[in-house]
């Protein structure tokens, strides 16, 4: 009976009805047949459904209740599983410290080497390593990911091994060990091919494209991004416009018309998906597109449109305090402000003066 209750389908189209079933079952067991293990598991499933429908406060609340029941009933595995999900949700909410705390609690609960706990331990080590990489803790990230890789290999968890191998490659990239990273990316692709995970292959190819750029191999970078683009179009991935942007940058000096084409494709995607209301991430991406179009116009000696696109990019960069990016825009403005060939650009001069002021302030803060 219990096994059937807990195998509730969590498909997207059934979330609301699942929530209703769980609430009914919880009410029944709380009122008539108290069973702490079952109630804990129902709260755990309730949290998962709330998470899927993005009601995060209620997901946290459900998991806190689940954890309380598992503690009282001395069920370390399901308590660890609850902490694992809480860590994932904290990570989604960018609460990195809280996520790491939960995952470290998981490792404490799974400290022995029982085989049935190995997969959850492996997944937890992966999440910790990935998070540490994101916050720049490279040595510690490497340590946790290697531990996870050993468990994945021993348990023949090929999916987890592929995920961990890709993260280890990213660690090596950050450490400047590009050839070692390259080998791990090749290994990751082989594993995703074995699992027939084409979508994942596209993600690795994106990483490979960036790495080839670092290595100065433009041809291989373009091929990797193009292959990734074909896969992303097939699955309508969110990162599609980011790959188009990279191709646009690479083609700028080789074939500027392709840069223009890729920029237009990105704008088309953004407008089709979002209309004229952009999220912060999409708006930032649009700024990169405008900047790239400005560079394209410079290549075509179209100064008027160049300045128009740069100005559009600049307004977004300044809005989100993207200092490194608007510094690049200022540098181009400065060059044209000093030009004697065409009219002097008063606006450009003003922007350069702002840059000097900004740099003085930044330097003052750094020294002081």
345 shares a domain with 255: yes
Give domain status of residue 269, yes or no: yes
The answer to which of 15-24, 105-114, 134-143, 171-180 has the lowest mean pLDDT is 15-24
Q: How confident is the model over 122-150, as a mean pLDDT?
A: 97
Q: What is the pLDDT of residue 167?
A: 98
Q: Could you say which of 53, 69, 92 is where a domain stops? A: 92
Considering the domain boundaries, does residue 147 fall inside one?
A: no
- Least confidently predicted of 70-79, 157-166, 208-217: 70-79
Are 258 and 334 members of one domain?
A: yes
Using the 3D structure, point to which of 73, 92, 111 is the last residue of a domain: 92
Check residue 273 and give its pLDDT.
Answer: 61
In a shared domain, residues 313 and 343: yes
Q: Both 345 and 256 in a single domain?
A: yes
Residues in contact with 106: Cβ distance below 8 Å, sequence separation at least 6, in sequence order: 80, 83, 84, 87, 120, 121, 124
Q: Does residue 358 lie in a domain region?
A: no
Question: What is the pLDDT of the chain when averaged over all its residues?
Answer: 83
Report the alpha-carbon distance of residue 326 to residue 313 in Å, rounded. Answer: 8
Tell me whether residue 120 is in a domain: no
Total count of domains within the chain? 3
> Taking residues 201-208, what's their average pLDDT?
96
Domain contains 127: no
> 178 pLDDT exceeds 90?
yes
Looking at the fold, whether 215 and 259 belong to one and the same domain comes out as no
| Listed range (132-141, 305-314, 325-334) with the worst mean pLDDT | 325-334
What's the burial of 277, exposed, middle or buried (CB within 10 Å: 0-12/13-18/19+)? Answer: exposed
Q: Is residue 299 part of a domain?
A: yes
Total-model pTM: 0.79
Token pair of 227, please?
A: 């292959």
Show Cβ contacts of residue 80 under 8 Å, excluding neighbours closer than 6 positions.
Answer: 105, 106, 109, 110, 117, 120
Q: What is the pLDDT of residues 101-115, one digit of tens each?
A: 999 999 999 976 677
Chain segment 249-262, per-residue pLDDT in tens = 999 989 999 999 99
CATH of the domain at 226: 1.25.40.10
Q: Which of 96-110, 287-301, 326-340 has the lowest mean pLDDT?
A: 326-340
60 shares a domain with 35? yes
Residue 212 and residue 165 share a domain: yes
- If you write DSSP's letter for every residue of 126-142 in order, what string do you get? HHHHHHHHHTT-HHHHH
Is 132 a member of any domain? no
Q: Is the pLDDT of residue 129 over 60?
A: yes
Domain boundary among 92, 117, 141: 92
218 confidence band (pLDDT: 50, 70, 90):
very high
Within-domain flag for 55: yes
Note whether 260 and 345 are same-domain residues.
yes
Q: Are residues 199 and 257 in the same domain?
A: no
Domain membership of residue 318 as a residue range? 238-244+251-350
Residue length, the chain? 368
Q: What is the pLDDT of residues 2-39, one digit of tens each?
A: 322 333 333 343 455 666 666 666 555 565 666 677 88
pLDDT band for position 130 (cuts 50, 70, 90) = very high
The CA–CA distances, whole Å, from 94 to 100, 131, 364 equal 11, 10, 31
Structure tokens at 113: 């080497």
Same domain, 218 and 262: no
């Amino acid at each position: 009976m219990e096994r059937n209750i807990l195998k509730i389908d969590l498909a997207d189209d059934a979330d609301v009805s699942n929530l209703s079933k769980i609430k009914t079952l919880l009410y029944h067991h709380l009122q008539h047949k108290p069973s702490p293990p079952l109630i804990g598991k129902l709260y755990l499933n309730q949290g998962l459904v709330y998470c899927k429908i993005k009601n995060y406060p209620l997901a946290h609340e459900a998991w806190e209740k689940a954890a309380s029941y598992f503690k009282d009933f001395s069920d370390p595995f399901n308590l660890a599983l609850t902490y694992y999900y809480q860590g994932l949700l904290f990570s989604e909410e960018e609460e990195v410290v809280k996520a790491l705390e939960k995952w470290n609690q998981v490792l404490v609960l799974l400290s022995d080497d029982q085989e049935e706990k190995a997969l959850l331990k492996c997944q937890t080590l992966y999440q910790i390593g990935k998070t540490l990489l994101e916050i720049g803790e490279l040595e510690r990230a490497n340590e946790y990911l290697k531990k996870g890789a050993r468990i994945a290999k021993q348990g023949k968890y090929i999916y987890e091994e592929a995920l961990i191998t890709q993260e280890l490659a990213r660690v090596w990239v950050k450490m400047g060990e590009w050839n070692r990273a390259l080998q791990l990316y090749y290994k990751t692709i082989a594993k995703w091919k074995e699992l027939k995970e084409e979508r994942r292959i596209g993600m690795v190819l994106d990483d490979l494209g960036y790495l080839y750029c670092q290595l100065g191999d433009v041809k291989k970078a373009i091929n990797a991004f193009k292959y990734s683009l074909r896969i992303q179009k097939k699955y309508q991935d969110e990162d599609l416009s980011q790959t188009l942007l990279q191709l646009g940058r690479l083609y700028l000096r080789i074939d500027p018309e392709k840069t223009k084409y890729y920029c237009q494709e990105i704008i088309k995607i953004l407008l089709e998906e979002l209309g004229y209301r952009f999220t912060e991430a999409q708006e930032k991406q649009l700024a990169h597109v405008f900047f790239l179009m400005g560079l394209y116009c410079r290549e075509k000696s179209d100064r008027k449109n160049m300045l128009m696109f740069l100005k559009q990019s600049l307004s977004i960069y300044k809005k989100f305090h993207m200092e490194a990016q608007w510094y690049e825009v200022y540098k181009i403005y400065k060059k044209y402000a000093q030009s004697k060939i065409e009219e002097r650009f008063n606006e450009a001069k003003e922007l350069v003066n702002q840059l000097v002021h900004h740099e003085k302030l930044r330097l003052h803060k750094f020294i002081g």
